[in-house]
Structure 1
Amino acid sequence: MAAKLSEEDIKAKLARFRSAFLASPFLKAVLDELDECRELSKLGGDPECMIVTGDTGAGKTSLINKYLELNARKNSYEGTVIPVLLTTLPGEANSVALFQQILTDLGHPYPFESNNEVQLRKQIKDLARNCRLELIIVDEFQHLMEKKSLTILKKTANSIKSLIVDTKIPMALFGMPYSSVILDSVSQLSSRFERRRTLSPFRISTEDERNKFLKLLSCFETLMDLPEPSNFQSDDMSRRLYAYSSGNFKKLKNLLNSAYKAAIENGELHISKNRLAEEARSRSSTVEEKNNPFLLPMHKLKVIEPGKYVGWDDYTQGKGVNLRFKDNPKELSFSDVF
């Protein structure tokens, strides 16, 4: 049993672990590319835009928050400087709602006064210039296309293109994998978003992919800084952690958040399988003793690796979309993977 920590020490450790940004080489490259879009756009010509897609829990929000942290708003004698603006779209938004949300996030006092796109674009252009805005990040971009006809998609795409042309400010779109559909509905918009990056779930069917997952587990264990090793990288623990999360970053991180909190509150020396089993059961109503990956014998462990089109389900369901976009996860045996 470890020495009991004070409430302040516990909060500090939890805050450090929960807010940590684990930057893989790929994530660092995306952060650098966001910078590149801003810098190149200042040199004239068409603004450099990009789109980052990924399934729920792939790490898009963490990436956005890190970039905003690196490029925070600043107050000056001339007013507020906003180098990077984040706009998050509500469900079933349209282009007018997008423009009004951008005005809201820029601090416009009356963002909903007009529904005229031309007027809204002018307001954004004027306010963006005053705030020295260099990049607009639009999160939940898929809300601009959900339940929309192709005609409306094209109209929305043209509206976004017009905003980029008018303001000369690059955009970075973040959304579900099928967000690319709205871009491809208009060739002029598609060509502006040639930079396309995908945040994929961790996979383990090849040695290279498996090593990336093991490195992530090692980083998590290092951040926990517990008195004894938890051995997340061991065959036993890594298989169970993957069986629970199926490579989804958010699901894995949420479990470890809970396990770490319980461990330091109870003075435990490391994260045990029993601790993980208890937290997995409390986090999910579908995890029971008979299927808990931290309790099952190794030969009964079920390991599911996501397919190529993970995250497309909401778009393909009931839309008659080509079946090639249907995700086909595969169950792996240990002889396949380990």
Structure 2
Amino acid sequence: MKNELQGQQATREVSQYIIDYPAFHALREKMERMLRSPDPRGLLIVGDTRVGKTTLAKSVLDVHPKTIIDGTPSVPALYIEIPTIPTEKSIARALMLQLDVTTSRALSEQELISRFARIAEYCRIKLVIIDEFHHFTESSQYPKLLRYANSVKSLMNRAGVSVVLMGLPSSRAILDKNQQLRGRFSSVQHIGAFAMEDTAQFNDFLDVLRALADKLPFENAQELAGELYSPRMWYATHGALGYVKKLLIEAVETSDAANRKLSMALMEKAFTAAIWHDGVGKLNPFNRNFSHNLLDEVGQPFCPDMAF
């Protein structure tokens, strides 16, 4: 029972752990400056799947939680996610729902934003983080993209809040539809996976592995950042932090609770279960016959058009 509880605690800690590597830290500091700025600012953060965008947002929210000051609510930062099939009212409605405010469906988008502007002043909201923003650009034609762009512009103008947009690289398309919005979001930052060929980035990747190894229940967990496992961890995750956590959680959950030890066999099994069900034999980074080729071909997990 004790070993099982240790395993459960380890998976929670790995899942929730925020690793403040240099690029992540720089973006978080930029968002902190936006919170402190008296003038509304815009920032677009783009990156592929599982590189840490949502983790970045939540790290800011953790530092600035909702509180009560002098008897009134204080909500320094507000976070919403855009649904897969958005509407023109998606932003305004999501903001109101996040604040537990019920609104009539008959209200227009501009009426919703006006109401939010009053609430934002009352609740001292300084920063709005809009995640999964690429859903606005998927299968949307020019007229809709223009209206979505105007929604963001209205939010900044009328509510007086800074806005961080987060999404896949396709999110950039919406800035092309509105010159004024493009001026507000002149700062476009990329958050990406760690590159193996870049010495500094790969060293950061090793630091991440060492930090996560401290959370693992394996007696030889620090070997994760060693010569045997670290390059295989990179191939198995393409250097994306979200995949690293997913793989390690699977390894903990499938390991023997009575004798937890990091092994190639364990990681091979975890990769197939958590990352790619067809990743067997020489296509599995933890197999002794692995070819050390990138798993980015069509049908493989890190193919640009098929990543999951």
Same structural fold, with TM-score higher than 0.5 when normalized by the shorter chain: yes
Which AA in structure 2 matches 1:129? E
Q: Is the 8 A contact 1:93 1:144 kept in 2?
A: yes
Deviation string, structure 1 residues 98-148 (Cα, Å, up to 9, x no partner): 11111111221225341x122112111111112111111101111122111
Spell out the pairing of 1:113-132 with structure 2 (5 A cutoff): 113-114=106-107, 116-132=108-124
Q: Does 1:289 align with 2:281?
A: yes
What is the CA–CA distance in structure 2 between the aligned matches of 1:170 and 1:111, rounded to whole Å?
26
Counterpart in the other structure of 1:207: 199
- SS in structure 2 of the partner of residue 151 of structure 1: helix
Counterpart in the other structure of 1:231: 223
Counterpart in the other structure of 2:16: 19
Which AA in structure 2 matches 1:63? L
| RMSD across aligned positions (CA) | 2.5
Which AA in structure 2 matches 1:87? I
- SS in structure 2 of the partner of residue 95 of structure 1: coil
Counterpart in the other structure of 2:262: 271
User: CA offset at residue 238 of structure 1?
Assistant: 1.6
Can you give the 5+ residue segments of structure 1 that lack an aligned partner in the other structure?
Answer: 315-326, 328-338
Which AA in structure 2 matches 1:123? R
Match of 2:187 among 184, 188, 195: 195
Which AA in structure 2 matches 1:29? A
Calculate percent identity across the aligned residue pairs.
Answer: 21
User: CA offset at residue 275 of structure 1?
Assistant: 0.9
Q: Is the 8 A contact 2:53 2:191 kept in 1?
A: yes
Q: Is the 8 A contact 2:296 2:304 kept in 1?
A: no
Spell out the pairing of 1:28-67 with structure 2 (5 A cutoff): 28-40=25-37, 42=38, 44=39, 47-67=40-60
The 1:188/1:27 distance shift into structure 2, 3 A limit, reads: same
User: CA offset at residue 159 of structure 1?
Assistant: 2.5
What is the CA–CA distance in structure 1 between the aligned matches of 2:270 and 2:245, rounded to whole Å?
12
User: CA offset at residue 313 of structure 1?
Assistant: 4.1
Q: Is the 8 A contact 1:49 1:192 kept in 2?
A: yes
Spell out the pairing of 1:115-264 with structure 2 (5 A cutoff): 116-224=108-216, 226-263=218-255
Deviation string, structure 1 residues 60-89 (Cα, Å, up to 9, x no partner): 111112111111111456343211111111
What is the CA–CA distance in structure 2 between the aligned matches of 1:112 and 1:232, rounded to whole Å?
52
What is the CA–CA distance in structure 2 between the aligned matches of 1:5 and 1:264, rounded to whole Å?
13
Which AA in structure 2 matches 1:50? L
What is the CA–CA distance in structure 2 between the aligned matches of 1:312 and 1:185, rounded to whole Å?
25
User: CA offset at residue 305 of structure 1?
Assistant: 7.2
Q: Does 1:97 align with 2:90?
A: yes
Can you give the 5+ residue segments of structure 2 that lack an aligned partner in the other structure?
Answer: none
Deviation string, structure 1 residues 4-39 (Cα, Å, up to 9, x no partner): 735444433332222111111111111111111121
What is the CA–CA distance in structure 2 between the aligned matches of 1:311 and 1:97, rounded to whole Å?
30
Counterpart in the other structure of 1:331: none
User: CA offset at residue 215 of structure 1?
Assistant: 2.2
Deviation string, structure 1 residues 212-244 (Cα, Å, up to 9, x no partner): 222222222233264335422333212221221
What is the CA–CA distance in structure 2 between the aligned matches of 1:96 and 1:264, rounded to whole Å?
50
Of structures 1 and 2, the larger Rg is shown by: 1
Q: Is the 8 A contact 1:50 1:193 kept in 2?
A: yes
Spell out the pairing of 1:310-325 with structure 2 (5 A cutoff): 313=305
Which AA in structure 2 matches 1:12? Q
Counterpart in the other structure of 1:69: 62
Which AA in structure 1 matches 2:81? T
- SS in structure 2 of the partner of residue 231 of structure 1: helix
Q: Is the 8 A contact 1:79 1:131 kept in 2?
A: yes
The 1:38/1:166 distance shift into structure 2, 3 A limit, reads: same
Q: Is the 8 A contact 1:218 1:232 kept in 2?
A: yes
**More deviation in 9-18 or 147-156?**
9-18
Counterpart in the other structure of 1:317: none
The 1:128/1:311 distance shift into structure 2, 3 A limit, reads: farther
What is the TM-score with the length of structure 2 in the denominator? 0.89
What is the TM-score with the length of structure 1 in the denominator? 0.81
Q: Is the 8 A contact 2:47 2:191 kept in 1?
A: yes
Aligned length: 302
Which AA in structure 2 matches 1:157? A
User: CA offset at residue 304 of structure 1?
Assistant: 4.6
The 1:17/1:258 distance shift into structure 2, 3 A limit, reads: same
User: CA offset at residue 178 of structure 1?
Assistant: 1.3
What is the CA–CA distance in structure 2 between the aligned matches of 1:118 and 1:182, rounded to whole Å?
19
